[in-house]
Structure formats: structure tokens, C-alpha cells
Structure 1
Amino acid sequence: MKTNSIKIKNEILMFVSVNFIITFSMGIVMFFVYKYIDKAAISDFALVQMFYPALTAVILMINNEKNNIDRNLIYFFKIYIVLCILSMIVLLTGVSDFPQYISKILYGLICAFSIAAFYLIFNNRNNCFEKIGMVLQKNFKNVFILCLIFIGIEFVIAILNGFIYGNFIENVEKSIKLLEFLPFNLLLGILISFISFFGEEFGWRGYLQPRLQVLFGKKLGVIILGPIWGLWHLPLCFMLYSPKTPVYCLIFHIFYCTFIGIFLGLVYMKTGNLWSTIIVHLINNYMASGSGNANNIVFTPEILILNIAVCGIVFLPFIFTKEYRKKSSRRTCEFYS
């Protein structure tokens, strides 16, 4: 028991350390070049940063338990590592040599690798993708219901933000328009870009969350994950999301990631299906980018407090749901122990 706890602690420490080293090293590169390239190229840093959590988790899993991983899953992991390496090379060389083509090349890679990975997962030979929770049909009804709940939450947030910013009608109309195209964009996103969202969700929910929950329990484990995930956004807060008010942006992300992490944690525990959190994350990013509330935000203390309050109101109650009250067990980490 004690030996296993030490093993899990070491895995957590290694995951956080390697993930942050990669992220902040690339963030330093972004710091030196972001004033000299256009905003689209800066967004490409954010796109590639999504890969790092899963890249870290995949490397650690191959290193720690290669003999216990099916060769088809190893093949998928290797494909993912190749995607990450190619994307980082494109990003690092492209900022000076071909900045106008970075986005096109990256999205081409993401599309090609997403389709290839989707094919592998769809075949799911030897049921090997169960180990990482990537089984399309698993608990499909719960996945569908929880995604609908999240869409409702996004609409509530749009209404509350409308009151805060004084553009209620505009926000509601914009949200309705986004929802009209959501089914098509969601299906397209799952097919040609899910690998980006796998990058975050496998790292945070699939790898780190169950380990934290084994050590600290269901509630505290998810709550601890939130600030770690929020701090991980630091380079983007300073150079993309809110260059004029980066500290406020970072504070917001710490709270936001903690609050939405409670819901995502619930979704993952309820379904045992990583596709569910990938889809929720995809919906979240689609709604944020479509509403124009993603980049170059200027925070004031009042806006910061109100946004944190809105997120707390809509997401915090989920910590009191039945799933979080169930007794935690080592089965939470069954895929990885």
C-alpha cells in the first residue's frame, strides 16, 4: 500500500514537472518572438501547447509500463509522439522562415493524424483503447446527456455575461446562432481535430486526475488539479489571452480551471469515457471562440470578480453530486496501476 502510494506520488511529480518544463520552455520561445509575428502565429503556440499534457503522460506510460500496454496502443502512442514532435518543429522553424504557413501546416497535420487515430480507435483491436478510456460507444447515453447539460450551462453563462456586460440580447442571439451550427461543427471537430483535445484531456483527466484522487479522494483530488491546470496557461495569459492584464487573466484561469474541472471530473468519473471530456472541451472552445471571448481580453478587478462568480455559480454545485459522494477506491486508478 505504502509502496504504491509512493509510486503514484512520483508519477504525479514527474508528470507535472515534465509537462511544465515543456510548456514553459516553449513559452519562453513565444515570449521572444510574439512581438514580431502576427496573432495567428501566436494562436499556433496555444494550439501546439494542447499536445503537451498527453505527450508527457504517453512518454511516462511507455517508460513505466511498456510491457503492460498492448502493441496496438503503443502504436497509437508512437503516432501521437510523432505528431507532437512534427508540430513543435513546424512551430519553432516556422516563426522565422514561414510564419504565414504555420497554421495551415499544423491544421493539416492535426487533420491527418486525427483521422488516422480515429481509425485505430474505431477498430479498437483487442479492446486495447479501454486502457485509456477511448471507447466510442462506452456509456454513450451518459456521454450524450452530460454533453447536453454542458450546452445548457454554456447558454446560462452567456445569459449571465449578457447582464454583466450589458449586451444581453446580443449575447443570447450569438449563442443561439452558435448552437444552430454546433452539431455539424462538433461532428467535424471529432473527426478531424479531436487529437488536439485528446492532448489536454488525456493528460489532465485521463492521467493526472485518477492519481490525485487515489491520494486525496475524489473531491480534493479534482480541486487540486484545477490550479495546476490553471497555472499551466501562464504563457498564454501573458502573450495571447490577455497581454494587457496577464496577472488577472492567470487568476481567472486558476479559478476557471478549478470550477470547470469539477464538471469535467464528474463527466469522466460518470462515464469512464475520455471521449466525453474531449467533446465537452471541444464544445467549450467552440462556444468561446465563436462568441469572441477567447483572446486579447482586458480584465478589470470588477470583471475578474464577476467572471469568477459566474463560473462558481454554474460549476461549483456539481461537487455535491452523487458521483463525488461515492467512496473513492483504488479502482479509480485501475487502468494505470
Structure 2
Amino acid sequence: MKIELVRIKNEIVVFLLTTFVITFSMGILMFWVYKHLDKDIMSSFGLVQMLYPALVAIILIIIHKKDNIHRTLSNFLKIYIVLCILSIVVLIGGVFIFPKYVSKVLNILVYIFSVILFSLIVNNKDNCFERINMVFQKNFKKVLILCLAFIGIQFLISIINGAFYGNFIESIKKSISILGFLPFNVLLSILISFVIFFGEELGWRGYLQPRLQILFGKRFGVIVLGIIWGIWHLPLCFMFYSPKTPVYCVIFHIFYCMFIGIFFGFAYMKTGNLWSVIIIHLINNSMALTSNNLSGIVFTPKSLVLNIIICGVVFLPFIFTKEYNGENLEKILLH
């Protein structure tokens, strides 16, 4: 058992060091040319950053288990690595060579590779994608219920915010409008852009979460993960999410990722299906993007505290559910 814990600690350290070195190195590079970049390129920087956690996790999985991976799954993982390399090359080179087309080229890459990888998952020969907990049919009803629950929670958050800022009716109308387009956006995005959400969720929930929970326990492990996940957003806070109030943005993301990470962790343990958190993450970003609440946000002390409190109130209770009791993590631990 002691040897096993040492191995897990080493895996965590290597994963975090590699993920943060890649993320912050790219962040520093982008920061040098930040003043010369338009909003589309900064959005592309965020898109590519979402790929890094899974890239690192996949490399570690291949290194440790290269002789014990089904051929179809191996091809899937290798194709994903190719996507990451091409995306990084396009982002770095495009900023200096073809800045006007960086966003379009990256989106095309994501569309093409998402469709290719999606087709491999759908075929799922010999049920090999169970290895990374990506089987559509697995606990499908639970996945659907949790996705609907998350939409309801986000709707509630929007209404509460509207009530505090005196635009209650407007918030309801805007939220209903967003919900009207959401099913189409989600279904289309699952096919043509799921890979960018897979990028975060395989890394954070699939690889890191169960390892942190083995070390720290289910509850504290997911809280530690949320803090790490929030800090990881630092480059985006300074250059995309809130360049005018980046410190407040980082503080908000640490708390937001900690609280929403509790729900994500709950969903992943409840279903044992990575699709649950991929789709929930997709819904989260889709609703934020549709409401223009993803970039250029200006935080005030009041809005910062208010949003932290609201997120804590709606998401924190999930840490007291039965999924956070017990020690069995085998069904979600990626080897």
C-alpha cells in the first residue's frame, strides 16, 4: 500500500508540473504579444489551453501502460496528441504569420478531429473506451438527469444574480432565451467540439481527481483539485476573461472551480462516465458564451463576493452526498 501511494504521489507531481509548465509557458509567450492580439486570438489561446490536461494525462498513460492499451483506444489517444501538437503549432506560428486566420484554422482542426475521434468512440470496438470511462450508454439516464440538474442550477444562479442587481425580469427573459437554443448547441457541440472539453475533463476529473482523493479523501481531494483547477486559469484571467481586473478573476476562479468542481466530482463518481462532466462542462461554457459572460468581465469587490457566495450556496451541498462517502474509486481511476 505504501509503494502504491508513493507511485500515485509521483504521478500527481509529474502531471501537475508538466501541465502547469506547458500552460504557463504558453501564457508567457502569449502575454509578450498580448497587446497586439485581437479577441478572437485570445479566445483561441483559451481553446488550446483546454487541451493540455488531457495531453499530459494521455502521455503518462501511454508511458506507463503502452503494452496494455487496445489498438483502437491507442489510435484515439495518438490522434488526440496529434491534434494538440498541431493546435500549439498553429497558435504559436499563426500569431506571427497569419493572425487573422488563427481562430478559423484552429476551429477547423477542432471540428475535423472531434468528428474523427467521436466516430472511434461510437464504434467502441471490444468496449475499449471503458478503459477511459467514455461509453455513451453507461448510466445514460443518470448522465441526462445530472445535465438537466446543472442547467437548472445555472438558471437559478442567473435569476439570483438578477434579483441582487435589480434586473430580475430581464434575467429571466435572457435565461429563457439561452435555454431555447441550448439543446441544439449542446448536441452539435458534442459532435464537432467535444474534444476541447475532453481535454480538461480527462485530465482533471479522469486522471487527477481519483488520485487526489486516494491521498486526501474524497471530499478534501476534490477541494484540492478545485483550487488547482482555479489557479490553472490564471493566464486566461489576465489576458481573456478579465484583463481589467485579473486578480479578482483569479480569486473568483479558485472559488468557482472549487465549488463547481464539487458538482463535477459528484457527477463523475455518480455515473462513472466521463461523458457526464464533458457535457456538463460544455453546457457551462455554452451558457456563459451565449450570455456574453465569458470574456472582458470587470469584477468589483461586491460582484466578486456575491458570486462566490451564490456558487457556494448552490454547489457546496453536493459534497455531503453519499458519493463522497466510502473509499471505492476503482470504477473511475484511470491507469
State the TM bucket, normalised to the shorter chain.
over 0.9
Q: Kindly provide the amino acid, as one letter, of the partner of residue 328 in structure 1.
A: E
Give the 5 Å matches for 1:107-256: 107-256=107-256
Identify the residue that residue 328 of structure 2 maps to in structure 1: 329
Q: Which amino acid aligns with 1:147?
A: C
Mapped partners of 2:333, 2:66: distance in 1: 16
SS at match of 1:68: coil
Residue 261 of structure 2 is matched in structure 1 by 261
Quick one: distance in 1 between partners of 2:72 and 2:42?
35
Give CA deviations for 1:208-241 in whole Å, capped at 9, x if unaligned: 0011111111111111100100000000111111
2-structure distance, mates of 1:221, 1:124: 31
Any stretches of 5+ residues in structure 1 without a counterpart? none
Q: Distance in 1 between matches of 2:230 and 2:164?
A: 23
Q: Tell me how many residue pairs correspond in the alignment.
A: 335
Question: In the superposition, relative to structure 1, how do residues 236 and 86 fare at CA in structure 2: closer, same or farther (>3 Å)?
Answer: same
Q: CA contact under 8 A between 1:213 and 1:332: conserved in structure 2?
A: no
Shift of 1:333: 5.5
* Paired-residue identity, %: 65
Deviations along 1:134-175, one digit per CA (max 9) or x if unpaired, are 101100010011011001001101101102332222221111
**Over aligned residues, Cα RMSD in angstroms?**
1.0
Rate the CA distance shift 1:143–1:333 in 2: closer, same or farther, 3 A: closer
- 1:117 CA drift (Å): 0.3
Structure 1 counterpart SS, 2:293: coil
Using the TM superposition, give the Cα deviation of residue 335 of structure 1 relative to its aligned residue in structure 2, in angstroms.
Answer: 3.7
Structure 1 match to 2:293: 293
Amino acid at match of 1:231: I
TM-score under structure 2 length normalisation: 0.98
Residues 214 and 329 in structure 1, CA contact (< 8 A), matched pair in contact too: no
Q: SS at the partner of 1:210?
A: helix
Distance 2:9 2:25 in 1: 24
CA distance in 1, matches of 2:24, 2:221: 24
Partner of 2:94 in structure 1? 94
What SS does the aligned partner of 1:67 have? coil
CA distance in structure 2 between the partners assigned to 1:320 and 1:330 by the alignment: 17
Which amino acid letter does the alignment assign opposite residue 330 of structure 2? R
Q: Does 1:32 align with 2:32?
A: yes
1:274 corresponding residue in structure 2: 274
User: How far apart, CA to CA, are the structure 1 residues paired with 2:171 and 2:109?
Assistant: 34
Separation in 2 of the partners of 1:334 and 1:266? 14
> What secondary structure is seen at the aligned counterpart in 1 of 2:244?
coil
For the 8 Å contact 1:211–1:333, the answer to whether it is kept is no
Which whole-Å CA distance do the structure 1 matches of 2:68 and 2:123 have between them? 20
The gaps in structure 2 that reach 5 residues or longer are none
Structure 1 residue 330: Cα displacement: 5.1
8 Å contact from structure 1 (residues 48, 87) kept in 2: yes
Is 2:89 the partner of 1:62?
A: no
Does the residue aligned with 1:78 lie in a helix, a strand or coil? helix
- 1:332 and 1:140 mapped to 2: Cα distance? 16
